[in-house]
Amino acid sequence: MSEPEQWHGTTILTVRKGGKVVIAGDGQVSLGSTVIKGTARKVRPLAGGKVIAGFAGATADAFTLFERLEAKLEQYPDQLMRACVEMAKDWRTDRYLRRLEAMMLVADKKHSLVLTGTGDVLEPENGVMGIGSGGNFALSAARALVDMDLTAEEICRKSMTIAADICVYTNSNVTVEILDEE
């Protein structure tokens, strides 16, 4: 008996450089080898625009996580790290949440974080991190470009183009959200 087809892949990238933090994500949703949608929006602002977030994984799971993170941000305003740690605790221990298959990149003016269902809340080194099936391709490209005379947005866009050229689960329909570090 074969396994059922799985929703698969995406690429989410964050770069923090030059007083800006950027999260970019592609728009492809795949089921096995079939592209179901090419214009999904996997990156969005939260907390009234003070936080930006992107997800990789099952879409319904990601929406649940966005809602949970938004609630934690309301509970702990202007405390992204605390909100993420509290959400990661819930994600790991709650019977419903721990079945969710997704990862998130979140950022505010001070912090960029990776959240996982295993309870991880990690701050990327050098302000650059990628997740999803094309995440390592985009991460590699961004690391190569980060020391060049490019803005955080330019690095994200170029890196996402490279990932889309390599990863079959990533397309070039990119959504970008930007915050000033101030």
170 is in an annotated binding site: yes
Give the phi and the psi of residue 115 in degrees, each rounded to 5: -115, 135
Q: Where are the beta strands (DSSP E) in the chain?
A: 7-8, 12-17, 20-25, 29-31, 34-37, 43-46, 51-57, 102-107, 112-116, 121-122, 128-131, 175-180
62 is in an annotated binding site: no
Rounded Cα distance between 45 and 23, Å, is 10
For the sheet containing 7-8, what is the strand order? 7-8, 29-31, 34-37
Instruction: Pick the catalytic residue from 10, 11, 14, 175.
Output: 10
Active site residue 151: no
- How are beta strands 102-107 and 51-57 bridged, if at all? antiparallel
Q: 171: which strand partners?
A: none
Neighbours of 147 (CB within 10 A): 10
84 is in an annotated binding site: no
Known binding residues for Na(+): 164, 167, 170
Give me the active site residues, please. 10
Known binding residues: 164, 167, 170
